[in-house]
Amino acid sequence: MKENQYISYGGGVNSTTFLVLEETKYDEAVFVNHGGDYPYTYNYIDYLEKKGFNITTIIPEVTRKGITYNDLYDYCIGNKILPFRRRRWCTGEFKVTPVRKYVEKPSIISIGFDFGEVRRMNNMLKKKYHGITYKFPLIKNRFSRQDCKDIIRDAGLKVPEKSGCYFCPFQSKRELKKLYNDYPELYIKTKFLEENVEGSKPTYLRYEKPLDTIVGADTHKLEDWSE
């Protein structure tokens, strides 16, 4: 039986490298629009589609306490929780699982981990998935992130900015300051996530400190911001 070939496309450097190197080797590139990516990621996908790349966008459906969510931010707000560094539940429920549900099995899904992410690959390979085989071509070929950028440029494409959620707990202080300076509306939404969390003690997205303390600046009050 033929195995269907998929790329789990995230809109960043690594998975864009797949589109360049394996354009004729996969059946479909799948992007999960969970609503939490930076605007430049959605803009880059539009850019690639105008360049002739076919990318399928799917919307997740995650149910908790009888309510189905299509948006990761709304899920966090509705359940009064934050993404958690020690367990990537947000990645699992809003990125990985939707792709697993979507693909036609048996299938091979290529994941864009580069050679610096061997540990993440090993954690995935410890588990078995019915009808799905995961492959990690960048690690197999020992491609670094810089190698991936060079491949994209050589193909005549713009190199995308780092993909990820604007409220990702893995962001550095520099990235959080960029969020504050360049995307003030998204920053205030992220700050509201912290303020919305229920618990016996304060819970923070990063560094065990409030966002305002991390970026080192005062912000507008939440009521000053509107969509």
pLDDT of the chain, 227 residues: tens digit per residue: 688 999 999 999 999 998 888 765 789 999 999 999 999 999 999 999 999 999 999 999 999 999 999 999 999 999 999 998 777 899 999 999 999 999 999 999 998 888 888 888 888 887 778 899 998 988 888 888 899 999 999 999 999 999 999 999 999 999 999 999 999 999 999 999 999 998 767 889 988 889 999 988 554 444 444 43
> Range(s) for CATH 3.40.50.620 in the chain?
4-154
Phi then psi for residue 164, to 5 deg, are 150, 165
pTM value > 0.85: yes
Distance CA 206, CA 168 (A): 9
d(CA 22, CA 196): 43
Closest CA relative to residue 23, chosen from 158, 114, 159, 155: 155
Cα separation, 11 vs 167, in Å, equals 16
CATH superfamily name and code, 4-154: HUPs (3.40.50.620)
